A and B are shown apart, each in its own frame.
Chain A
Amino acid sequence: MAPVAPRSGDVIFANVERVNAELFTLTYGAIVRQLLTDLEEVDEVNKQLDQMGYNIGVRLIDEFLAKSNVSRCVDFKETAEVIAKVGLKMFLGITATVTNWDVEGTTCSLILEDNPLVDFVELPDTCQGLNYCSILSGVVRGALEMVSMKTEVTWLRDMLRGDDAFELQLKLLKRVPEEYPYKDDE
């Protein structure tokens, strides 16, 4: 029988190399700021952040699988729980609540209880339309693609835009048959 997936990433997080979150938060902020200067268009920045996240997700899935001992999830519900309780915890030290399932069990939302990406961040009026956390949706999409799930990952609510929570929607588009992982650049 397959080992049961861990219900929480607390132990893993306690055992990985950690750094102070300010370095991470400020580095991300500096990247966004530089991209806004270089790319000018907010939409282009959103796209670039999403692409960077995707590339990170494609790489981080290996570390996740190696350290978490998570085996194949039985369904997308379990996948979402593992992301919310183990994946987010292991890398960002946070967890999320999974909610808003559709009847097919292919779409749900993660409500983040906390979000280290946005500490000290306030968006100026000139940045309306910026999806500041695009990198995180990209990471989830990239990581899931490496384990054969094509998904659409979208921020539905964003506290930087005045919403009352951070809500990340995961929509399973299709399961792709197992094949040698390739890098999908475009």
Chain B
Amino acid sequence: MYHVNLIEQFDRGVEEMGREVSESCVESLVTEIVSSYCNGFYADKPELAARRIEAIGFQVGHQLSERYTMDRPRFTDHLEAIKFICKDFWSEVFKKQIDNLKTNHRGTFVLQDNRFRWLSRMSVDPSIETLGSIQDPSAMAENKAAQAIGMHLYFPCGIIRGALSNLGIPCAVSADISNLPACSFVIRIKA
């Protein structure tokens, strides 16, 4: 994995914010998405719940990316698009940039947020730290807390996948919380 420098320029970020709402509003919605799908209609089917939560995120990411790129030229390559996600996009959604970007230069990118906002208010069971990657929802079934966090992360994974899909880049996105409170998002671009 090669490290990519993200601090070469500060385009937007400080731009005037439009309309705002309290952060609690967004957190409340995310919490309700997860609990409605995990405890409600798909209580016995975590895989289906995960897919729905991811789909909601995808929709959001797709639309946000559309809005945020309206006035800019098309990205010339994958790395440019990923850098946009790490900087401008992340700043709009999470009010900070991605802290660390790595790539193998063969279509895999690892975006690390050292203090991921949507996990910072969740109480985290230390036993989860050994859990590592949260790729398999059924494997998490026995650990409720891990499952809750894992389910929460399907939403931002969907947002990233939706944003990149809007930029013409089909990919798979997973989250890795083996270094809490840091959270890494692994993007694998489909050839």
Contact = CB atoms under 8 A, between A and B. Distances in A.
Given A26-B60, A30-B60, A91-B25, A20 B17 contact: yes
A16 B27 CA distance: 13
Contacts of B26: 19, 23-24, 27
Contacts of B41: 38-39
Interface string A70-98: 00000000000000000000111100000
A91 B21 contact: yes
A20 B19 contact: yes
A26 B19 CA distance: 13
B27 to A, nearest CB: 9
Provide the main secondary structure of the chain B interface. helix
A52 B21 CA distance: 18
B94 to A, nearest CB: 8
A7 interface: no
B87 interface: no
Chain A contact residues: helix, strand, loop or mixed: helix
Given A38-B41, A38-B52, A27 B24 contact: no
Given A38-B41, A52-B36, A92-B21, A22 B64 contact: yes
Nearest to B30: A27
A52 B31 CA distance: 10
Contact of A34 (B28, B32, B59, B93): B59
Contacts of A20: 17-20, 92-93
B56 A30 contact: yes
A13 B20 CA distance: 10
Given A24-B29, A38-B52, A16 B24 contact: yes
B67 interface: yes
A24 B36 contact: no
Interface residues of A, number: 34
B23 interface: yes
Interface in A110-141: 116, 119
B166 interface: no
Interface stretch (A53-61, A99-107, A173-181): A53-61
Given A24-B29, A34-B52, A92-B25, A18 B20 contact: yes
A33 B59 CA distance: 9
B142 to A, nearest CB: 24
19 contacts: A16-B24, A17-B24, A18-B20, A19-B26, A20-B92, A23-B92, A23-B93, A26-B60, A38-B52, A48-B36, A48-B40, A52-B36, A55-B32, A56-B31, A60-B24, A90-B22, A91-B21, A93-B20, A119-B19
- Rank and list the top 4 A-B pairs by shortest CB-CB distance, nearest first: A30-B59, A17-B23, A21-B19, A18-B20
